[in-house]
Amino acid sequence: MSRQDSYKHPMASRFRGFLPVVVDVETAGFNANTDALLEIAAATLTMDENGYLMVDKYYEAHVEPFEGANLERAALDFTGIDPFDPDRGAISEQEALENIFRPIRKSIKSHDCKRAILVGHNSAFDQGFVNAATERNDIKRNPFHPFSSFDTATLSGLAYGQTVLAKACEVADIEFDGKKAHSALYDTLKTAELFCSIVNRWKDLGGWDMVLAAQDYGDEFTI
């Protein structure tokens, strides 16, 4: 077998075969089982020839409240979302999730990974709403690991001493416009920049090379 035939994308080895996909949701409350999912965005990541992470592609959807969904007024006031504004171009939960999941599955395949792992700022919140909506709509092919995730609030607390997204971005020298915050797409892209910054900084500090040496991955994964 030639080296070309056996080649695997370096991303396949960086996170144990998981492809990091950054997700943010905007909702009408905190309860994933009862409160409406109103916006969802996702950004797939890739790795360059030098082993640095970067945003690859991104996707978003405005979502119609599911039948019987609870709409907390405080949450709507906080996000500024009018769930019934026709200009939102909202689609059903099922259509929104399929539109997000489909390109994620393709990205998993193109990066030689086996599954996606959700990256989020306070990721348990986003993961909870994604899982609840997936189950509610009986979607069988959820590309994400069902419970593992990467939480940038935790990672940025370690790397930058800040857990609030805007504050962590400030320390990481990532531009952040508070007026655009609480848009699922904007928060997704900023969270993606933050995650890439942390992982790439760890690489620059020699942390990943140390892991490679310790695990004896060999020349194929020396990046």
What residues are annotated to the active site?
Answer: 182
Give the length of the chain.
223
CB atoms within 10 A of CB 220: 12
Q: Which tokens is 12 given?
A: 């396949």
Torsion over CA: 92, 113, 122, 54 (sign): negative
Ordered strands of the 37-47 beta sheet: 53-62, 37-47, 18-27, 115-120, 144-151
Q: For residue 47, give the H/E element and its range.
A: strand 37-47
> Could you count the other beta carbons within 10 Å of the beta carbon of residue 30?
13
Phi, psi angles (nearest 5°) of residue 203: -65, -45
Residue 188 tokens, joined: 């997704």
Question: Among positive and negative, which fits the CA dihedral 124, 130, 134, 135?
Answer: positive
Q: What whole-number distance in Å separates Cα of residue 162 and Cα of residue 74? A: 26
Side chain identity, residue 112: D
